[in-house]
Structure 1
Amino acid sequence: MFVDKAKVFVKGGDGGDGLVAFRREKYVPDGGPAGGDGGNGGDVVFRVDEGLRTLVDFRYQKHFKADRGEKGRNKSQHGANAEDMIVRIPPGTTIIDDDSQMVIADLTRHGQEVVVAKGGRGGRGNTRFVTQRMTAPEIAENGEEGEERWVVLEMKVLADVGLVGFPSVGKSTLLSVVSAAKPKIAAYHFTTLTPNLGVVDVGDGRSFVMADLPGLIEGAHQGVGLGHEFLRHIERTRVLVHVVDMSAADGRDPYDDFLKINEEIKLYNAKLENRPQIIVANKMDMPESEDNLALFKEQLAAEGKDYGIYPISALTHEGVKELLYKISDIVESIPPAPEVEAVAEQEERKVYRFEKEEDNEFSIRRVNETFVIDSPSIEKLIKRTNFSTPDSVARFARILRNMGVDNELRKRGAVHGQTIQIGDFEFEFDEKS
């Protein structure tokens, strides 16, 4: 089964909680703090595996969650970091954030990898909060939650040569003749509904990968039919081989078909217009093909278009060998990995996303008798604060006071005992704190 698009949920592992602990050793009275930090949660990492060819595995597993870090330990020992979750994807996969539609990574080479959901940091143990005034703090942080998101995976076939053209012009037949691929072939439109790949051995020590891309129709660039599903795969190919039915079957006009297909490709992505392209005049074994080819050449010349035209018959194999030599020459003359859409430059092995600096801004609004504080950084602080100990509560209040939250609440008219809401949490305003 060929699957070239999938949507999956990924979540980095939560960080382990820090520990509140004290030394309890014989002959050591009043032992100091000894609570260790929690371990970091595992990242969700997508890694290219050249042995994969489709995204079919993501039809059956759509959720990927990394393990959380271990809690901190006694004797100031750090909890173990969780291992990263490695998710294998095929070469040619683009990873897109479902909410923003921003491209996270475009991975094409074996072993390339990218972190798509970063694990949370482990919480700090009470040894980290020792000061000259507070020598035995009962403060420890909860582990940070791991990142989570929905991502869309789009696979674009990696091939040197892409066969394009209207349905039933003979693309599948040509691929079956020049390679060991066995695409489904029949005398009706849209026999090919998924790309077929074949390795073509030219016979002189050279070879290349050819993809039979499903037939296009008018309006494909707007998604008509399976337009976007088909056109996506053209982006990866290094050479376009435009197959035209010179027999004019079903009353079609070969030159008109040629123009329409190129227009659809151009409208989908203007950069593809500059991709090397040759024309294959197929079905030359049919009676009217010679006259149609002569007219086709005249029409091309009248428009000032300069394309190499190679008459063949995929059925009788006439002209096929000469065509393969020419394709191989073109493939050798161009770079191995054209990129149609510029994605942020990536390292050879891994793409790292750096964390944003903490944003301490906040806003306050009043909803009836409740004051609502909007601040991502304070909401994050709440999740990391363990409110079961007085020291942790006092630290939380001190941080908000230093940020200016208390003063701003007083300016807005907040009084002792009034409800303050931050995210999903509610507190009472305490004038004495």
Structure 2
Amino acid sequence: MKFVDEASIRVEAGDGGNGSASFRREKFIPFGGPDGGDGGKGGSVWLQADEGLNTLADFRHSRRFRAERGENGMSRQKTGKGGQDVIIPVPVGTLVRDDQTGEIIGDLTAHGERLLVAQGGRGGLGNLHFKSSTNRAPRQTTSGTSGEERVLQLELQVLADVGLLGLPNAGKSTFIRAVSAARPRVADYPFTTLYPNLGVVRLGHHQSFVIADIPGLIPGAAEGAGLGIRFLKHLARTRLLLHLVDAVPSDPAQDPVTDAQGLAAELEQFSDDLAQRERWLILNKLDLLPPDDRQAWVDDIVSRLAWEGQVFAISGLAGDGTQTLCAAIMDYLENQARNQAEMDAARAELQETRE
């Protein structure tokens, strides 16, 4: 199935049914009075996250979803049947915006999570509600209200703990193949990866994390060059970025330091929050150098970049250094989770004290 991460759909909730103007007419009951029932409520439209989906491709063909109208009220105080709701399955990680206002309606990040996107109309009142001591035979009723109608913009942002960032041919797909069961395409030409790939890295019992390989970025990506903006947003949910750099480019005119600086600039231009996120420098393809020359090569790149964060030298193809890197990632994520749990506990304790 073709990967699609943006879609526009129209959702229409059902109108409420109208109230009934009816009178009780039975033998031996000459003054039966009003008995008109209320109209049924209109069906609503919901989005529901489904972990079995990984693309919005289905919405390329089905773009309109309409819930049932509520039935009108009936005699003998019978309320009309409510319209059936419509539940639309979407991938986990779908962000929902109102097309007209740009408002974020919701963010579906867990399997089974539901979001109401169009409320069904209320049913109208039957004439029974208008009976009074001075109005014994009311003929007033109310009509059901209209259901909500909206055009929604759906935006899929992949859910991953770690995001791979790099230029085309930096070796991201080779790396994710080396450390997980994911099998993205690998070739010796740019733009082999055309859509995000997710891989689960397992290190031990109950120790795993999800890593996302997004298509390579090119200069101008933050302004929309190539597919830059569409795929930079997939890094928004990640907790750690791995900046993969081809440390030994085949083109002598290509400089790893210039490549790394250019990509960092694109990141800053796209999002300050993303630029400030924890980012590790991963120097890849070290297997192309003699073992004795590798450390000096790495030290030179790090020095010219003035890099102060974590640095790892690996070979995704040979697997050298990948296990050490994955272990460090796991430690970082677990420490982050512990710190977050402690902060949440302290916040809850402070809240209880105030109450």
Normalising to structure 2: TM-score of the pair? Answer: 0.90
CA deviations over 1:304-329 (Å, ceiling 9, x no partner): x4111111111111111111111111
Are residue 264 (structure 1) and residue 270 (structure 2) matched?
no
Are residue 293 (structure 1) and residue 294 (structure 2) matched?
no
- 1:67 aligned partner: 68
User: What is the alpha-carbon distance in structure 2 between the residues aligned to residue 213 and residue 332 of structure 1?
Assistant: 24
User: What is the alpha-carbon distance in structure 2 between the residues aligned to residue 329 and residue 277 of structure 1?
Assistant: 15
Are residue 233 (structure 1) and residue 234 (structure 2) matched?
yes
- 1:84 aligned partner: 85
CA, structure 1 residues 204+111, in 2 after alignment: closer, same or farther (shift >3 Å)? closer
- 1:168 to partner: Cα distance: 0.6
Moved more, 196-205 or 93-102: 196-205
- 2:309 aligned partner: 307
CA deviations over 1:134-163 (Å, ceiling 9, x no partner): 221222222211111110100000011111
- 1:99 to partner: Cα distance: 0.8
- 1:396 aligned partner: none
TM alignment of 1:140-289, pairs within 5 A: 140-203=141-204, 206-250=207-251, 251-287=253-289
- 2:326 aligned partner: 324
Q: Secondary structure, in 3 states, of the residue corresponding to 2:229?
A: helix
CA deviations over 1:5-40 (Å, ceiling 9, x no partner): 111110001111111100001111132111111010
Divergent runs of 4+, >6 A: none
User: What is the alpha-carbon distance in structure 2 between the residues aligned to residue 323 and residue 165 of structure 1?
Assistant: 17
Moved more, 79-88 or 193-202: 79-88
User: What is the alpha-carbon distance in structure 2 between the residues aligned to residue 310 and residue 266 of structure 1?
Assistant: 22
User: What is the alpha-carbon distance in structure 2 between the residues aligned to residue 335 and residue 2 of structure 1?
Assistant: 31
RMSD of the alignment, in Å? Answer: 1.8
CA deviations over 1:24-66 (Å, ceiling 9, x no partner): 0111113211111101001101111222211122122111111
CA deviations over 1:149-191 (Å, ceiling 9, x no partner): 1101000000111111111110000111111111011111111
User: What is the alpha-carbon distance in structure 1 between the residues aligned to residue 168 and residue 129 of structure 2?
Assistant: 68
Asked whether the equivalents of residues 16 and 123 of structure 2 are also in contact (C-alpha less than 8 Å), the reply is yes
User: What is the alpha-carbon distance in structure 2 between the residues aligned to residue 292 and residue 224 of structure 1?
Assistant: 31
User: What is the alpha-carbon distance in structure 1 between the residues aligned to residue 276 and residue 63 of structure 2?
Assistant: 38
- 1:233 to partner: Cα distance: 0.3
Q: Secondary structure, in 3 states, of the residue corresponding to 2:135?
A: coil
Are residue 98 (structure 1) and residue 103 (structure 2) matched?
no
Q: Which has the larger radius of gyration?
A: 1
Asked whether the equivalents of residues 168 and 187 of structure 1 are also in contact (C-alpha less than 8 Å), the reply is yes
- 1:131 aligned partner: 132
User: What is the alpha-carbon distance in structure 2 between the residues aligned to residue 100 and residue 275 of structure 1?
Assistant: 29
The gaps in structure 1 that reach 5 residues or longer are: 339-433
- 1:331 to partner: Cα distance: 1.7
User: What is the alpha-carbon distance in structure 2 between the residues aligned to residue 195 and residue 270 of structure 1?
Assistant: 22
User: What is the alpha-carbon distance in structure 1 between the residues aligned to residue 220 and residue 234 of structure 2?
Assistant: 17
Q: Which amino acid aligns with 2:247?
A: M
User: What is the alpha-carbon distance in structure 1 between the residues aligned to residue 305 and residue 203 of structure 2?
Assistant: 29
User: What is the alpha-carbon distance in structure 1 between the residues aligned to residue 255 and residue 231 of structure 2?
Assistant: 23
Asked whether the equivalents of residues 36 and 79 of structure 1 are also in contact (C-alpha less than 8 Å), the reply is yes
- 1:117 to partner: Cα distance: 0.6
Q: How many residue pairs get matched?
A: 334
Moved more, 222-231 or 202-211: 202-211
Are residue 17 (structure 1) and residue 36 (structure 2) matched?
no
- 1:292 to partner: Cα distance: 4.1
Q: Which amino acid aligns with 2:302?
A: K
- 1:263 to partner: Cα distance: 1.9
The gaps in structure 2 that reach 5 residues or longer are: 341-355
User: What is the alpha-carbon distance in structure 1 between the residues aligned to residue 157 and residue 327 of structure 2?
Assistant: 26
CA deviations over 1:57-80 (Å, ceiling 9, x no partner): 212211111111111111112112
Asked whether the equivalents of residues 196 and 214 of structure 2 are also in contact (C-alpha less than 8 Å), the reply is yes
Q: Which amino acid aligns with 1:328?
A: M
Asked whether the equivalents of residues 12 and 148 of structure 1 are also in contact (C-alpha less than 8 Å), the reply is yes
User: What is the alpha-carbon distance in structure 1 between the residues aligned to residue 228 and residue 9 of structure 2?
Assistant: 23
- 1:226 to partner: Cα distance: 0.8
CA, structure 1 residues 114+189, in 2 after alignment: closer, same or farther (shift >3 Å)? same
- 1:41 aligned partner: 42
Q: Secondary structure, in 3 states, of the residue corresponding to 2:23?
A: coil
Normalising to structure 1: TM-score of the pair? Answer: 0.74
User: What is the alpha-carbon distance in structure 1 between the residues aligned to residue 11 and residue 222 of structure 2?
Assistant: 31
Q: Secondary structure, in 3 states, of the residue corresponding to 1:331?
A: helix
Q: Which amino acid aligns with 1:202?
A: L
- 1:85 to partner: Cα distance: 1.2
Moved more, 278-287 or 197-206: 197-206
Asked whether the equivalents of residues 261 and 305 of structure 2 are also in contact (C-alpha less than 8 Å), the reply is no
Q: Which amino acid aligns with 1:294?
A: D
Asked whether the equivalents of residues 247 and 292 of structure 1 are also in contact (C-alpha less than 8 Å), the reply is no
CA deviations over 1:347-402 (Å, ceiling 9, x no partner): xxxxxxxxxxxxxxxxxxxxxxxxxxxxxxxxxxxxxxxxxxxxxxxxxxxxxxxx
